[in-house]
Amino acid sequence: MKNNGFFGKTDPEFMAIKIIRELELNINEPIDLYYVAEKLNIVIKKEKIKDGILGACKAVGLKRLIVIDPDIDNEGRERFTIAHEIGHVIEHHGVHCCRTEDFYWNSKGVSVEQDANLFAAELLMPSTSLADIVKKNDITMELIEKLASERNVSVTAMAIKLVKLSTDPTVLIYFEGGKVKWASYSKNSDFVELKNTIMSDTFDGMKITKQYEASTFFDGMSDEATCWAEAKYFGNYKFYLCVVRLDDKEYD
């Protein structure tokens, strides 16, 4: 793990690994976040904060508190919110409130929210428990949903984690409200730039992994560059997830 974190002091993923080791957590089963919080002297409460706030935390001296919106209607999302707030506490971010957009991912960005996301992802989905799976399998929606169910995390969180672990140039696109809200990139896909004009009908009919021209999704790609892509629409939440794996790094 070479990410130095927003403050350049502590690697959030390393901090999660340290907690896993010290508490001797089973990395192949869903992590018990209430057990983790108890061992870290953190109190978790479910309480309405204010509209748009999913989670909040306070870490002043020995008083450590996390408050989670009781109206979060997805257990995987709730667990990631709790883990995210634990990250803020562990990273000493002080009093903090997190809105929905603070959980949006862009692996090219750096911020305290990105640090908390990295911490939460590593705590809930330890890299060492998934690296072999990613090495031996293509990242498909079927695989993502299977592993998300096994680890009791959201499909979105698992998709991000698998893409980040991929050794192939891979991009996860989150599309909502008629536009790309964010994208998460594998470490070797920094050379690509998403198009600003991807339309929702681009994802229609992408229920299985198929080959496409890379220019369908990215700017500056050569005519010969191709990719493999699959998308799924999550009707309850009205967003698309699309996994794109490039065949060719050549671009204009």
How many domains are contained in the chain?
2
In a domain, 7, yes or no: no
Whole-number Å distance between alpha carbons of 213 and 186: 19
DSSP for residue 90? H
Let me know whether 56 and 147 are in one domain: no
Angstrom CA distances, 62 to 32, 58, 90, 94, 178, stand at 22, 10, 12, 12, 45
Q: Count of alpha carbons within 13 Å of 53, Cβ hemisphere only? A: 16
pLDDT score at 107: 56
Decide which of 79, 94, 124 is a domain's last residue. 124
CATH number of the domain that residue 46 is part of: 1.10.10.2910
pLDDT score at 102: 82
Q: What are the 10-residue block averages of pLDDT along the chain, 252 residues in total?
A: 45 95 96 97 93 88 88 93 94 83 70 91 97 95 97 96 95 94 88 89 92 94 92 94 83 44
Beta bridge partners of 184: 172
Let me know whether 234 and 184 are in one domain: yes
Quote the pTM value: 0.89
Residues 6+ apart with CB under 8 A from 54: 68, 69, 72, 81, 98, 99, 100, 102, 103
Decide which of 77, 95, 124 is a domain's last residue. 124
Q: Count of alpha carbons within 13 Å of 224, Cβ hemisphere only? A: 5
Let me know whether 61 and 146 are in one domain: no
Angle 210-188-209 from CA coordinates, rounded to 5°: 10
Let me know whether 25 and 76 are in one domain: yes
CATH number of the domain that residue 138 is part of: 3.30.450
Let me know whether 67 and 40 are in one domain: yes
Let me know whether 207 and 98 are in one domain: no
Neighbours of 128 (CB within 10 A): 11
pLDDT score at 8: 41
Give the max Cα distance, the chain.
Answer: 59
pLDDT score at 109: 60
Let me know whether 115 and 219 are in one domain: no
Question: Do β-strands 170-176 and 239-246 pair in parallel, antiparallel, or remain unpaired?
Answer: antiparallel
The overall average pLDDT reported for the chain is 89
pLDDT score at 72: 93
In a domain, 17, yes or no: yes
Question: Do β-strands 239-246 and 226-234 pair in parallel, antiparallel, or remain unpaired?
Answer: antiparallel
Decide which of 124, 154, 172 is a domain's last residue. 124
pLDDT score at 195: 92
Let me know whether 163 and 89 are in one domain: no
Let me know whether 177 and 196 are in one domain: yes
In a domain, 194, yes or no: yes
In a domain, 233, yes or no: yes
> What is the span of the domain harbouring residue 53?
12-124
Let me know whether 158 and 236 are in one domain: yes
CA-based torsion, 142, 148, 154, 160: positive or negative: negative
Let me know whether 39 and 115 are in one domain: yes
DSSP H helices, the chain, are 12-22, 33-39, 75-90, 112-124, 127-136, 141-151, 155-165
Let me know whether 133 and 208 are in one domain: yes
